[in-house]
A = this chain, B = another copy of it.
């Protein structure tokens, strides 16, 4: 994706990274001309001539652009590798400051009568994958994972799963049998199966058109279920723990009836 209008893409990303529209346009423009004056830049970026200077100044202050103080001034972009390196350090620095500040911020004791029935919702592919990793790492005895889509079987996920196969029982289900084959290749030490949960697919709400994403049950006491929005690729999940938890009870029942896969059939 995003190969249609390279410059617009670049402008978007730069804005997401905190640049203003004019700044982003100027940088992208400069990335294409090796060197240029305000006039030239204004022509290729359609940023008003008179505001090129402001934009360039802030780019310069961020270490993304160099200025030749002649008349007319010449501008040029720092080489791409240097620019991304600069942006990277800026980012690392922010994360570090954030971590420090948050660790120092004093915690408030809250009379936290956390019910055992807690069910939490979260979204974002990355965030859900991270949570999945944490759950996998914390598993004590058993991991049951069902994947509804190839796209979820990332390299990192494979690695984490393989890291646990000697420790705990790893059962992995797939929505389709091609996917099962793939899983069997990548994670040879896991027990694999085809989900037996076809009812999860295309059933409930045809209008919303949701697809099952992952279903993870760890130690039969913590569960994470996610759905995928086919168009956008976004992922939403719910997540719960505790033996009393209704979700978990259901999952355990499914498991005991062989609809998922049982660790030991006899």
Partner-B contacts on A (CB < 8 A) = 2-3, 6-7, 9-10, 13-14, 16-18, 28, 31-36, 40, 44, 60-69, 74, 76, 78-80, 82, 84-91, 94-95, 97-108, 110, 112, 114, 118-124, 126-128, 130-131, 134, 239
Contacts and interface: CB of A to CB of B under 8 A. Distances in A.
A97 B16 CA distance: 11
A68 B31 contact: no
* Interface SS of chain A: helix
Contacts of A67: 120-122
Contacts of A102: 6, 10, 28, 31, 80
Given A3-B104, A6-B104, A94-B16, A35 B84 contact: no
B68 A127 contact: no
30 contacts: A6-B100, A9-B97, A10-B97, A10-B101, A10-B102, A13-B98, A14-B98, A28-B102, A32-B107, A33-B108, A34-B112, A35-B114, A36-B110, A61-B124, A63-B123, A63-B124, A66-B239, A67-B122, A68-B119, A69-B121, A74-B118, A78-B122, A78-B130, A78-B131, A82-B130, A82-B131, A82-B134, A84-B95, A85-B126, A86-B127
